[in-house]
Structure 1
């Protein structure tokens, strides 16, 4: 994040960050009686506190105008919690399932999909996660889109889906067009890809941070953030497409272990700028 003005634009959203964190782990619509300290253990995720200075970050960048389908990686291509970047995967799954049924999304599905991507709405995500069949439904779609290292969160905990930066590039390749993308034979049809891109291009202003730091005004993205209850540290992620000097790049930056959301955003934006700059030199 650059400057106080952009940080200020997030101030209105920050008051709801902890609520959004809980909602990413549990479905809305009922009381949450499980103590927060038990939630990560119940999900099979290590809840041991991390010490200071253990922030991890991995960036993956692919030049859409190039011939290679292999992204340039900066950092270990390890698994991270998705937090809300999984919402792109949920929408892609929903659209693929609708295609298989020979239909378009219903008005109600669109009324849920649009705030899920543009505003990162968790209640809408809960409903669509149930509709696609949760982790099994998403993983079946992911197999068709070429993802190999993404495991859906247990039960209703879509925010604890595990993924890698390179797998997020594979997902983005199924959505964005380009010389490299044309070689992937995406199972998503033209209209489905255009719909996802349109929502990622018009996210709400308080969501417009992350990989967009590597470009000017021409970008499409989805961000995710999650505070780990036991440690108080933050997962902060950003995925999308950016344009630099007329060239289009897919970018995925995943991080965890930041002491605050703002620190995590700074880590992600710095990694995005550096990774894209390195790719433009190759």
Structure 2
């Protein structure tokens, strides 16, 4: 397990996680068929007019009754465009990542603006220290249930656990939440389905999936959360201020300092191989993404970090490249 070294958060507008909708269009006078090409496919829109279509300028003027009928508004019924297969795009992008022999990697991404998400790989991984976010989220949920604030001691432990990845602090809070029993109970409420707390004091051997870590991140950064806004802001603030030598992993994708994260790294005593994981929120070209990358089986921590960062870039790239292609196609069709 890594050894120890050395609040406030904000919500985006409530549009996060809501799928984009095309506006309802209105046309008058005629029955129209509209066909538009998009990057995702072809969209068909049917317009219904009430009454007769207006004749050409060379035709006789319509009767007053026809004019009245033609003046009624015609509604256009939008047909949902074919969805982009995000999982396929992510799988393709991850297939280009060089994975060392015997190593494995899994990733999951969510675009907070559109609500689109994708996951690659469903294997279980050791959490190592990324479970510290889950431990703190559990502690805050339990405190909410009890109608209390964290104590000064709990806050001190939480700060050191997240910012410095201090293991002693994590062990103290692990005991306070009721170890795996408390963690698993909170995770059931959070919506995690593939995560199981580590045995006894072994919180770092909690088992999880990339998809579950994405669900956890939604509890920390999303709108529809079991955590209060104050609890979310507290965790976000700590994840934004991890110590400088731990700012690797998913942050490799971010624009400048626009990220909040927690990393985990652990050399397994049975094999000598490393678990290296990274979870967090990054901002790329003005869009916020939640990203979780899990890995195991690298021969060193450095190799694991390189793998996680390459996977994070590929995963987010599968979203940004799709958006760029969609914009280019839309411009070309105009």
TM-score (norm: length of structure 2): 0.66
The structure with more strand, counted as a fraction of residues: 2
Deviation at 1:241, TM superposition (A): 0.2
Q: Deviations over 1:11-58 (max 9, x none)?
A: xxxxx94x57xxxxxxxxxxxxxxxxxxxxxxxxxxxxxxx7111001
1:50-129 matches, within 5 Å, as 53-68=101-116, 71-74=117-120, 76-129=121-174
Q: Which residue of structure 2 aligns with residue 281 of structure 1?
A: 321
Q: Which residue of structure 2 aligns with residue 200 of structure 1?
A: 239
Q: Which residue of structure 2 aligns with residue 236 of structure 1?
A: 276
Q: Which residue of structure 2 aligns with residue 10 of structure 1?
A: none
Deviation at 1:77, TM superposition (A): 1.6
Query: Structure 1 residue 167 and structure 2 residue 212: aligned?
Result: yes
Deviation at 1:265, TM superposition (A): 0.2
Counterpart secondary structure, 1:175: helix
Residues in 2 aligned to 1:218 and 1:83: alpha-carbon distance in whole angstroms: 24
Residues in 2 aligned to 1:60 and 1:187: alpha-carbon distance in whole angstroms: 21
Q: Deviations over 1:181-236 (max 9, x none)?
A: 33xx3110000000000000010001111000011210000000000112110000
Q: Which residue of structure 2 aligns with residue 7 of structure 1?
A: none
Moved over 3 A (4+): none
Deviation at 1:280, TM superposition (A): 1.6
Question: Runs of 5+ in structure 1 lacking a partner?
Answer: 1-15, 21-51
Residues in 2 aligned to 1:229 and 1:78: alpha-carbon distance in whole angstroms: 21
Task: Answer 1 or 2: higher relative contact order, Cα 8 Å, separation at least 6.
Answer: 1
Deviation at 1:118, TM superposition (A): 0.3
Counterpart secondary structure, 1:138: helix
Residues in 2 aligned to 1:67 and 1:154: alpha-carbon distance in whole angstroms: 35
Counterpart secondary structure, 1:237: strand
Q: What's the RMSD between the two structures over aligned residues?
A: 1.3
Query: Structure 1 residue 246 and structure 2 residue 281: aligned?
Result: no
Counterpart secondary structure, 2:220: coil
Q: Which residue of structure 1 aligns with residue 266 of structure 2?
A: 226
Residues in 2 aligned to 1:57 and 1:277: alpha-carbon distance in whole angstroms: 16
Q: Deviations over 1:121-174 (max 9, x none)?
A: 000000000000000101111111111110000000000000000000000000
Residues in 1 aligned to 2:122 and 2:114: alpha-carbon distance in whole angstroms: 22
Q: Is the 1:72–1:279 Cα contact (8 Å) retained in structure 2?
A: no
Q: Which residue of structure 2 aligns with residue 259 of structure 1?
A: 299
Residues in 1 aligned to 2:261 and 2:203: alpha-carbon distance in whole angstroms: 19
Counterpart secondary structure, 1:144: helix
Deviation at 1:67, TM superposition (A): 3.0
TM-score (norm: length of structure 1): 0.78
Counterpart secondary structure, 1:174: helix
Counterpart secondary structure, 2:263: strand
Q: Is the 1:93–1:132 Cα contact (8 Å) retained in structure 2?
A: yes
1:13-24 matches, within 5 Å, as 17=2
Counterpart secondary structure, 2:278: strand
Query: Structure 1 residue 213 and structure 2 residue 252: aligned?
Result: yes
